Structure 1
């Protein structure tokens, strides 16, 4: 209603009083017209029809202001008629000498009723008063009544003033209350929009009634667009696997039905663009009395937390599964964590070690100054690396190579130490054995160098070792599986490498002692050195052959790997005067492979091509993608086939213009230790290593002689996965 305005000084409130005045004037116009007719004969000239029309005009004029959304032109018409009729009424009263007391009484009555419009109990009394007063004046015209009427008018003025004052006080109080509510709402909105957490409110039908700026920003909606929408249909409708998430199982809807708060940290919310994010939310019921009328939901995007948790879990798995023993202590050396490798190495369980000091491993083999130097280093913030002689739970003494690193907090203070270590006992024992052998060699060296017979004896021992190595090679060739060959190769390398190291030292030692004039002895030593170098080469390739169990797979560019290989081989290519041709297809995507291993493949194949090519000949390298569309070697439905029809592969071709491969040697070309260039230093392991690396990549290699009879071509195919193609 018009009286509900906020401020007496506003145009709305003034218009409100004016509208009510006109409305009441229209209602009371005919009543007071008949009342004044008793004393003013001239007013009888104002026809009844004119009174009625004026009253109707004024009534509808006031009503047009009170009713909402009245057309502008209608309001103007009623305003015009209202002003005409009001002016006519005042002129009529003045012309007929109507006593101002009566006119004032009429308008005072109008204002009194208007001031009490919102006080229903008082309004009824005033209505009765107006009717009775009008009738009394109409029927009674005596000198006794008029003073009484004047007293009533005065009383009416006083009551009207008091009612208006009361109304003004009420309006001021209402204005203050509304201002307090407005300020409180501003503070509430400021708080809700300042938080980083998303907050939104729902009614009991699930429609959104409020959403703060943080929530709107997170889900990608404008606040005014989201309000009024069904929250579940927009945010919470589908699970991560694509299955619909019904409201019956929705914890937010269960808040309505159960009236109990719910906290969830393993669900998803969906953004406006169709993406989703993991969310942690709390749904709290809104109650009016004992009735649940809605819910307040506070939530946060926990994507970064999930990523951090995944990274921490990955890091934890690395620490848990590493081959190194890991120990974490506080600044005072109290153990807070040990990994399973520590338990296996020392025999102490995590429960036994945590809370203890690393002194539980102390063997008593180190002097006090050793530990003082150790603590001084790490407390200064430096990394300590050294060999510790420790004691296992069983009492067994062991050596470990240990690295201790200080950890600092954000202020730069050392808070923890991390130790990584591994068992060093075997190496220490081997070094001790080598020292004993060297000592024995020094004792016997004088006898060995006195005669050529001693040198020949040493040479025979070297030759025997070389023959033993050949026997072991033959054993490897007879192995049934590459895995068995790898284990045997590692064993051979380990068993032969130490004696060879001793022989190298002996040869160097003898070379310094034998006179330069003794050409026969010098020749024997030179032959011995060449034999040792050849044996070392074989051992290195054996170790390469035996270490083909794991790959470090990453998405890499084959073109970059090939160019890096060619850079390494640039001196050999220039020496051999090779005419290098590169044919790269730029559409070739990145491939999931071990770049270092694949570079080893390329080096072996290109070194073979260089050795087989005459100076000035061409060496062509091709890289391109291909879709397999026909049956060929390695392609088909057989169990042994690597690829299927329709697969996309990366193709690497290395083509030389050399002598090619004989039909006799073609079936044996990938056999370990098979070589046609043993007199030139070939070991026969290069292509075996190539085949083994490609097998680990689930790739294929085929060696083909060129149709023109000049040279051969190595063709490698590696499967492209769906991600590589895209």
Structure 2
């Protein structure tokens, strides 16, 4: 049986017909691709070429089919050729447009100042610009292709970026204006402003992501700096005891500090913002202030300084000094008023008390039988008593401000007085002598004592003189000599008492300064501590190095706080909280605080701690502060490293020195059972000329910015409050300096072991 074929007989008989059908199919396929539109211009160009070639070939086959003389075939061929030319022209235009777009895109990628990148569905880089390769420190953009963020960032940052990109691919939603902190594997850090968007094909399907990152490190650092300065300024004005305020032209408060809010009875500074003085103070107080504000705003006055009295709720009068100035913007326009109210009640009372004290002193001097005077370094009289007026027959108003040459008619006597004053100024010592004056034309002998008067810095600012009429006792030479010796001794005692008072006043002034500085530092320390707490929450659990660093920083802040508290204690008279403790424990705690600093500076620490030491009564944080200060001083004395030896031992006192200016004179006695803590260094030692000044506040031999000169003064006071003694001297072997703390040992209790034994 003959098998039937699906191919028409005419097709089997005519191979050219099959060829024409194939050409027609190719032509239609090319036209179809052009009609639906391919994604890539190169595909469209290839399809157009295939279609055109097929159509041309088919037309010439048809022409041969129908014959050369077929007019219809010629027309059809011409039309197909024209269409082919048109398609080729369109293809050329498309290619040129594609090349133009490619040039535009390349120019954009090359010159845009931000980092541009394209990623595939797996977050691998498809294309990046030169700026991004430079930011990632790659030689060429092609070096980044096929890589991911994990090849450049740490795992945490790379995982966050991958999570964002997967969310964009899932939702099709862009991420705009995200600020990120970037840290690369090579240690480079910075801040970038990131915009990430979905990357779609022509059909709208998300096939990846693309984005742009701009380096905003400088902007972020500037913003952070401004924020820190703003917080610092706010902390500063809030810590001022004076009442600071800023008001707009409508007298509404724009800025007030905490002291102002407390004075006005507001719950917080925020409560006063936008309100006026009339909302907090009575009319009798605000009436005068309103007129002053109007004058300042109108430019009629440049500054207002006024003292007035205000009665508080308890009926107590307060003297207040108000200072106000206009506030100008950058264009020089007055936009408000800046002011400060200072309560000067204590100063006014102190001034009144001082005037009263001077009046009483003048009364005492005027009723003294001696002739008393005081002259400045230049020789002008600062004060005289009634005895001086009667002796020379001059009123004190005529004498004050004048010199001996102006007051005395005898130039030789005046010159002698000046020489004696100069001798006192140069020697700094009391000068006792006998002087003879003519009173009412008769000679009189006076036993005179001239002595220096010193300020709180120990500098001589005046010369005092006390002259006693001894004419009637001149004949009794022995009695006069004894009286003179007694007088010299009394004046020497007065001098020592005066120096002690000056020293006490100096320490009180320094205490007030220390207290103020301490309060200024506490707020920034608290802010840093809160920042560390926030940072600690964001550190991954597995990052042990970061957590250890944060813990060290916390310990450093706690140490700074303890030092601040030490400064406050320096200015206060409160008693320490003393508890029994092992001396070795304090030493080890102090060494742990400075271990890193000593190791960094190449210092070797040798511990020679007694094994069976008795306990001592100490305030643990305060004594630890003293040891830290001594250890740091020892380290700084050794510029190229060295050895610090810390030694503890118990002994019996055999060399108690009597110093009337120290608290230890009533605490440490001969043969006392004591514990000594010594810190020895291998530095150059202490120059002899500095040994007497090392405990003076603000005396330091360190460069500016390294030391304040308060450390040893604070340390000495802490040890004295422990009823102990702090000594700083050079080592006997000449190998450095030695700091020794001596503390009374606790009396042993029956059945109780030593603290050293318990600790061991």
TM-score (norm 2): 0.46
Q: Which has more helix, going by share of residues?
A: 1
Q: Which one has the largest radius of gyration? A: 1
Q: Which has more strand, going by share of residues?
A: 2
TM-score (norm 1): 0.48
